[in-house]
Amino acid sequence: MTAIEVGACLGAFAVPGLPIVGPGDDLAAVIQGALVRAELPLGDGDVLVVASKLVSRAEGRFVDLGDVAPSPRARELAAVTGHDPAHVEVILRESVHVSRFARGVIVARHRLGFVVANAGVDLSNARPPGATVGRWALTLPRDPDASARRLRAALGVAVVISDSFGRPFRLGSVGVAIGAAGLPALWDQSGRVDLHGRSLEHTTTALADQIACVADLVAGQADEARGAVLVRGVRFPVDDVATAADLLRPRAEDLYA
C-alpha cells in the first residue's frame, strides 16, 4: 500500500483489565495478556495507542520530590507560579529552555523537543507501587520513539505513545503522539484534489497526533484506568523510519517557544 485511507467509520477500543504497572514490568506482555483476556486480537492496520504514563511507570520514571534539592532558579520560578519548588526543579532538569511562565504553569521545551506545560512532569497517578507516603512526580519516558519500537516489535502492530498537551493558542488539552513506530507520523496530502478539482498545495496532516486524539477520547484523564486503546479504521503503508520526532517544528520556526 502506498496511500493512506481513512474510512467513514473509525473504531477505538479501550483495552480492559490492565493492572497498575510498576518499574520493570514487561509492558508488552501486560498489554498482550489484557488483549487475550478481552478477546481483542490484533490485525493488519491496527494501531495500539499507549499512554505515556504507562510507559513511564514501567520504565521507573518516578521521582521522590522529598529527595530533590531545589536550585535558586527553581525557587524563583516556584515563587511566581505557586508550584512546589522541588517539582519546579524536576521540570528544569527535564527541560532545555523555559519559554513562558505564569501563575500555575511553566511552559518549557522538553529535552526531547516538545514544547509542553511543566515539561510533561506529572503529579497525578505518580505514586509507585508499594509507596504509601511521599510526594511523587512522574517524568516522560526517556525515549518514547524507542519505547514505541520495542512495543511494536513485541506486539506486531503500529504503536503510538500518547500524552495530553495543552496548546498556546486554544484552551483545553488534546492527545498528541510523543512516540510512534510502524506508521507515518505525518501525512502529506499535497497533490490530492478537492471537490472542485483544485489541487491541494500545502496540506500536511499530523496522522499520529490524530490517532492519539481518537484514543485520548476513550482513555480519559482521571481514574478510568484505560492506558491502552486499540484504534481501527485507518489504512496506511507500514513505515519503519517515521517517528514522532518528525512532528516537531524546528525551533527556528516556532513562534511560541
Q: What is the pLDDT of residues 111-123, one digit of tens each?
A: 999 999 999 999 9
Cα–Cα dist 17/14, whole Å: 10
| Position 250 confidence tier, pLDDT thresholds 50, 70, 90 | confident
Query: What pLDDT score was predicted for residue 236?
Result: 79
Strand partners, 101: 106
| Position 33 confidence tier, pLDDT thresholds 50, 70, 90 | very high
Run of H or E including 81: helix 72-81
Cell of 69: 534539592
In the three-class reduction of DSSP (H, G, I as helix; E, B as strand; rest coil), residue 179 is classed as strand
pLDDT at 8 over 70: no
Helices (H) and strands (E) counted in the chain, each on its own, are 6, 12
Strand partners, 204: 188
Cα–Cα dist 59/22, whole Å: 8
Percent of the chain clearing pLDDT 70 (strictly above): 88
pLDDT at 18 over 80: yes
> Averaged over 193-206, what is the pLDDT?
65
pLDDT at 191 over 60: no
Query: What pLDDT score was predicted for residue 44?
Result: 83
Give the type of residue at 105. Answer: V
Cα–Cα dist 39/6, whole Å: 25
Cα–Cα dist 115/160, whole Å: 18
Ordered domains of the chain (ranges, CATH)? 1-60+142-249 (3.30.1330.100), 62-139 (3.90.1660.10)
Query: What pLDDT score was predicted for residue 190?
Result: 57
Give the type of residue at 108. Answer: A
> Averaged over 75-87, what is the pLDDT?
97
Q: At what angle are helices 27-37 and 144-155 packed, to 10 degrees?
A: 50
Cα–Cα dist 135/102, whole Å: 23
Cell of 39: 478477546
> Averaged over 21-44, what is the pLDDT?
94
Q: What are phi and psi of 51, to 5 degrees?
A: -65, 135
Beta carbons within 8 Å of 202's beta carbon, 6+ residues apart: 190
pLDDT (tens digit per residue) in 153-181: 999 999 999 999 988 788 888 999 999 99
Of 238, 188, 239, 233, nearest in space to 215 by CA: 233
In the three-class reduction of DSSP (H, G, I as helix; E, B as strand; rest coil), residue 172 is classed as strand
- Note the Cα 63 to chain centre separation in Å: 19
